[in-house]
């Protein structure tokens, strides 16, 4: 048996609950029960079927680890949402199993931000079925921005546009999120996460990495900040004093920077 065929076929068994059930129900008599497999793959499946009492431990362990990995994904990319969900006493292992069945027991491995992003998308899509309130979904969306930020920097910080003549350019290390609730109540008092009701008020957040090695931060920003981030000023001399103060703040937060050859 070629090792790579064994490994790839074994991975299919690990992930496919229908195939596992077929093996379990037809041990010793699998011929004709397996469709869409090559002869070499069937040989592998039969080998595992012969010792399925042992192999089932591999499968059970795999599923147990994956169920826990759902929580790890949230802890890595959306720790505030995880805390809020725990405060709401939702059944996270049950959520995890539903998610994993929807995603065919996929092992995301070290791609934890992608995993977290898919979990957030799924929780949002299943909001009604999972009975999640709007404020939690809002918090998930805020944290999704931080996940997007990390994912966008996966290959490093994009280079500055060489053609630009602007005084100020983006660092490419921040994103903006507009909430539908006063999330700041929860961000300021983490012990309230998921426990208190939030007003339906729009807030603007800067999601930013202060440095490439630091953890991201959230800062409440005003409308002028968003304008400056969206359209960095070409000529700082054209800005009034309040705008210059806002600009300085955004530079100190690492959302914007002065163009390197234009100090």
Partner 1 sequence: MAMITKPSPIGVGIQYNPEILDWFPFESLKVDLLEILLDNIMAPMDGPQIIKPGLADLISKLGENFTLLAHSNYGCDFGFSPLETTSAVQRHAPLAKMINSPWVANHCFYGDNSWLDIWSSPIQFSNDEIVRCADRAAQLQDIYGMPLAHENAAYYLPCPGAEMKEAEFMAKLVERSDTFLHLDLHNIYTNSVNLANYDLKDYLDTIPLDKVIAVHLAGGSWAEGIYHDWHDSQVPEPVWDLYEELMQRATPAAIILEYQGQAHHELTRVMGEQDENMITTDVKRAQAIWDRAMANKKGAK
What is the distance of C-alpha 8 from the center of its chain?
A: 27
Q: Which of 38, 61, 178, 252 binds partner 1 (CB under 8 A)?
A: 61
C-alpha to C-alpha distance for 204 and 146, rounded to whole angstroms: 14
Q: Is 76 in the site for partner 1 (CB under 8 A)?
A: yes
53 contact partners, CB below 8 Å, separation of at least 6 = none
The CB-of-44 to partner 1 minimum distance in angstroms stands at 6
**Which residue of 44, 85, 141, 256 would you call a contact of partner 1, by CB under 8 A?**
44
CB of 8 to partner 1, least distance (A): 8
Which single residue is written with the structure tokens 């000529």? 235
Give the C-alpha separation, 132 to 47, whole Å.
Answer: 45
Alpha-carbon torsion (192, 193, 198, 200), positive or negative = positive
Q: How far is the CB of 51 from partner 1 (least distance, A)?
A: 5
Under the criterion CB under 8 A, does residue 30 sit at the interface with partner 1?
no
The window from 23-31, 101-109, 126-134, 159-167 that contacts partner 1 (CB under 8 A) reads 101-109
Binding status of residue 114 toward partner 1 by CB under 8 A:
yes
Cα separation, 239 vs 176, in Å, equals 22
Least distance (Å) between residue 236 CB and partner 1: 29
Q: Would you count residue 74 as binding partner 1 (CB under 8 A)?
A: no
- Helices (H) and strands (E) in the chain — how many of each? 12, 5
Of the candidate residues 24, 38, 65, 195, the single one contacting partner 1 (CB under 8 A): 65
Classified as helix, coil or strand, 26 is coil
**Backbone angles phi and psi of 199, in degrees to 5:** -70, 150
Map residues 150-189 to x or -, x wherever contact with partner 1 holds by CB under 8 A: xx-xxxxx--------------------------------
Q: What are phi and psi of 255, to 5 degrees?
A: -85, -40
Which of these ranges, 65-73, 200-208, 219-227, 246-254, lies near partner 1 under the rule CB under 8 A? 65-73
Interface characters, 185-224, with partner 1 (x: CB under 8 A):
---------------------------xxxx---------
Q: What is the dihedral of CA 70, 71, 77, 78, to 10 degrees?
A: 120
d(CA 226, CA 224): 5
Cβ neighbours of residue 121 under 8 Å, at least 6 residues apart? 144
Q: Which stretch binds partner 1 (CB under 8 A): 106-114, 136-144, 177-185, 226-234?
A: 106-114
Residue 183 and residue 201: Cα distance in Å, rounded? 9
Q: Report the site for partner 1 in 218-257 (rule: CB under 8 A).
A: none
Binding-site ranges for partner 1 (CB under 8 A): 1-4, 6-7, 10-11, 14, 44, 47-48, 51, 54-55, 57-62, 64-66, 68-69, 76, 107-114, 150-151, 153-157, 212-215
């Amino acid at each position: 048996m070629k090792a790579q065929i064994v490994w790839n076929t074994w991975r299919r068994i690990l992930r496919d609950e229908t195939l596992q059930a077929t093996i379990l129900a037809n041990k010793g008599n699998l011929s004709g029960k397996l469709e869409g497999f090559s002869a070499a793959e069937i040989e592998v499946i039969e080998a595992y079927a012969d010792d399925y009492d042992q192999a089932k431990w591999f499968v059970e362990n795999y599923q147990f680890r994956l169920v826990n990995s759902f929580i790890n994904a949230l802890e890595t990319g959306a720790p505030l949402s995880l805390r809020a969900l725990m405060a709401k006493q939702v059944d996270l292992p049950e959520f995890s199993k539903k998610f994993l069945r929807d995603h065919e027991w996929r092992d995301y491995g070290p791609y934890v931000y992608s995993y977290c992003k898919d979990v957030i998308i799924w929780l949002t899509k299943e909001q009604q079925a999972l009975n999640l309130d709007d404020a939690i979904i809002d918090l998930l969306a805020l944290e999704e921005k931080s996940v997007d930020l990390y994912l966008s920097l996966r290959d490093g910080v994009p280079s500055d546009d060489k053609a630009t003549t602007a005084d100020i350019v983006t660092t490419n290390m921040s994103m903006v999120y507009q909430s539908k609730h006063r999330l700041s109540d929860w961000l300021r008092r983490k012990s309230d996460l998921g426990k208190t009701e939030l007003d339906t008020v729009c807030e603007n957040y800067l999601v930013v990495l202060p440095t490439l090695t630091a953890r991201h931060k959230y800062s409440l920003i005003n409308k002028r900040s968003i304008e400056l981030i969206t359209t960095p000023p070409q000529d700082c001399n054209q800005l009034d004093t309040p705008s210059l103060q806002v600009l300085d703040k955004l530079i100190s937060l690492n959302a914007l920077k002065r163009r390197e050859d234009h100090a």
